[in-house]
A = this chain, B = another copy of it.
Amino acid sequence: MARIVQKFGGTSVADIERIKNAAQLAKMEYDAGNQVVVVVSAMAGITNQLVDYVNQIDREFDPEEYDVVVSTGEQSNAGLMALAIQNLGIKSRSWLGWQIPIQTDAIHEKARIVNVNTEELEKCLSDGEIAVVPGFQGISADNRITTLGRGGSDLTAVALAGALKAERCDIFTDVDGIYTTDPRIVGKAQKLDKITYEEMLEMASLGSKVLQTRSVELAMNYNVKMQVRSSFGNTPGTFVVSEDEIMEQQVVSGISQSKDEAKITLLKVADRPGIAAAIFGPLADAEINVDMIVQNVSEDGKTTDLTFTVGEVDLEKAVNVLKKNKSDIGIGEIIPDSDVVKISVVGVGMRSHAGVAQKMFMTLAEKGINIKVISTSEIRVSVLVAEEYGELAIRALHTAYGLDAN
């Protein structure tokens, strides 16, 4: 007997038929003799509708009440899922965030889980019941509903799997696993059987929408084995596991792209100590995340050029912040550019293999693609290129790193 946490995303529980289908998937694990906890998202579209209501009232809303509103989509789906499972002849009940409780801090809208009390759930599972938990929600110390931020249902599932020492946390979604790259761009993209937490983390933060970054971090910290799989079939998906569970590691596991990037180039910046702090301090104060940064050596020793990237949604805000401080800091010119895409190759094998970055640069050069900015981590090389070259770059790299399916 194993213990399994199953999480169904919004498209997997988008209507009653799909909820019934998901209940069948829970029943399959239950009938195989396992203890099952089901975590549900809201029906696809519902959370957006609720957020829209809140914004219609006040764009600068009180996050405490925001959480009261937006947590309802998961709550109703939890009740519906428990009913659908009961309808298959299995005892089931819903456990809301405040009933378990899933304790969080009081940072509403993006709360962090502090503790998951497993006592009631353990009792429920021992009684042969399937426990259904609404994702995305918890309760603060002062007894108010909190939500965990977008994609928070993944986080709920992993936190429960960790607290309940589950053997596996299955993330059911509308794709059947993690691919070497987006199959819509590269027809020969392959589904990965396994991927490491580290790689998944890089891919999640680099634009892969399949798993939420924080949930992968949490899974890594508690060594929760995740499986990304489709709720519309019954084939194995991609396991997200620790490095030692993968025998033969590819040098490069996948290629990601993120189009939600924008580049800002600052020309003729006064080249003096403290200049980076003077530029990036005000941006940080405005809660703008800066990602890649390159600074050119100045020719005259007096000014320098500086390029960095921000999220595309923050571009306008960032430019305004910079304009306000332009003369104080000593910036000659501000050149924004949102027609860029970040392409990354990811693989833990890079740690032991040299030449990965070099192969990337060569491949792009052969196709005549100009690299605007480069950044690297231990298991990743990212480059910023003009958006129009994005797909060409991905296809070329996918072939170059030997990822194409036969």
Which A residues are within 8 Å of any B CB, using their own CB? Answer: 16, 19-20, 50, 53-54, 56-58, 61-62, 64-73, 75-76, 78-80, 82-84, 86-87, 93-94, 96, 98-99, 143-145
Contact = CB atoms under 8 A, between A and B. Distances in A.
Given A16-B57, A62-B82, A99-B143, A50 B76 contact: yes
A220 to B, nearest CB: 33
A22 to B, nearest CB: 12
A230 B144 CA distance: 33
B76 A61 contact: no
A196 B79 CA distance: 41
A17 B241 CA distance: 49
Contacts of A65: 79-80, 82-83, 86, 93-94
A80 B69 contact: yes
Contacts of A72: 72-73, 75-76
Interface centre among A70, A80, A93 (most CB of B within 10 A): A80
Nearest to A68: B79
A73 B68 CA distance: 11
A313 to B, nearest CB: 23
A62 B76 contact: no
Contacts of A93: 64-65
Contact of A62 (B78, B83, B145): B83
A54 B69 contact: no
B75 A94 contact: no
Report the 6 A-B pairs with minimum CB-CB distance, sorted nearest first: A68-B79, A69-B79, A72-B72, A16-B56, A65-B79, A72-B76
A123 to B, nearest CB: 13
A83 B98 contact: no
B58 A87 contact: yes
Nearest to A64: B93
Contacts of A78: 68
Contacts of A96: 68, 145
B94 A79 contact: no
Contacts of A80: 53-54, 57, 65, 69
Contacts of A50: 76
A96 to B, nearest CB: 7
Contacts of A58: 83-84, 86-87
A67 B78 CA distance: 11
Contacts of A143: 99
A72 to B, nearest CB: 4
B75 A61 contact: no
Contacts of A75: 68-69, 71-72, 75
10 contacts: A54-B80, A64-B93, A65-B80, A65-B86, A65-B93, A66-B79, A69-B75, A69-B79, A69-B83, A98-B98
Contacts of A94: 65, 68
Contacts of A83: 54, 57-58, 61-62, 65-66, 69
Interface centre among A50, A68, A72 (most CB of B within 10 A): A68
A1 B64 CA distance: 29
Nearest to A49: B76
Contact of A76 (B20, B56, B68): B68
Contacts of A62: 82-83, 86
A20 B57 contact: yes
A344 B96 CA distance: 46
A78 B145 CA distance: 13
Nearest to A61: B83
Given A64-B93, A76-B50, A84 B98 contact: no
